[in-house]
Structures are given as structure tokens and as C-alpha cells.
Structure 1
Amino acid sequence: MIVEVEINREFFSGELADLAKIKNKVGKELRDALELRTTVKLVEPGSLPRFEGKEKRVIDRREGI
């Protein structure tokens, strides 16, 4: 499962090592909460679509199911 996460600019110090730490922490938190492994992809702020109300926020990209 790939999880795209927008990173807030205030958390980015300009160091790639800091991004790696954030990515690893998010991955660990998801693994602990969901009991499954995910691939975390950090994306730029504002790059994910915004939804109003209780819209579907999960995009199922599995094939052949």
C-alpha cells in the first residue's frame, strides 16, 4: 500500500535526513496502528486534492481483484 503524505513546510528544515526521519516515523506509526506495512511517499504541500465534507479519501489502485 502506498500512502501519500503532504509535508507541512514548517517541518522541513532543508535537510534530506530530516525528510527520511519523518517518512520513517510515519511508516512506523501506520504499521503500529494498522498492523500492515506501507510505502510512505512524501509530497509537496497542496499537491493532494482537497475534498469538502465526508468524501472518500482512499484511492484503491489495486489491479486484478
Structure 2
Amino acid sequence: MEFAKTTISTKEALPMDILPVFCDIDDFCQFFEPRWKRRRLSSGERHRDRAGCLCLSEVMTIIVLF
């Protein structure tokens, strides 16, 4: 059994430029994240605060484009 191979060019898959979207989201995250960390309530338990592999703006860009 053979499957048909289909290729999708980048222009078809992403009709818009993602760099401006990422820049806007990153600007928002640079403003919002420090304020959010200062104001969030503590549960009294210790939690890790280590950065993940992707920054918040990268994750949000992926979610917005999805």
C-alpha cells in the first residue's frame, strides 16, 4: 500500500508573517509578566521557579497561531 505524498509550501501554510505577531506578544509579556509575578497569591508551598525551554511569549505565539 502506498500513500500519496503531499507537500505544503510555507507560503500556503502561513499566509501571514509571524514575526510581527511574535514581537507584539513579546512586548506584552515583557510588560505583563513581572507585574503578574509580583501580584500573584502564594499558596504557602514552595514551588520551582525555573524557566522552561520556551519563554512565555513563544508559547503564547504558538497558541495564537494555532
Using structure 1 for the length normalisation, give the TM-score.
0.31
Bigger proportion of residues as strand: 1
Select the structure of larger CA radius of gyration: 2
Report which structure shows greater RCO (CA 8 Å, sep ≥6): 2
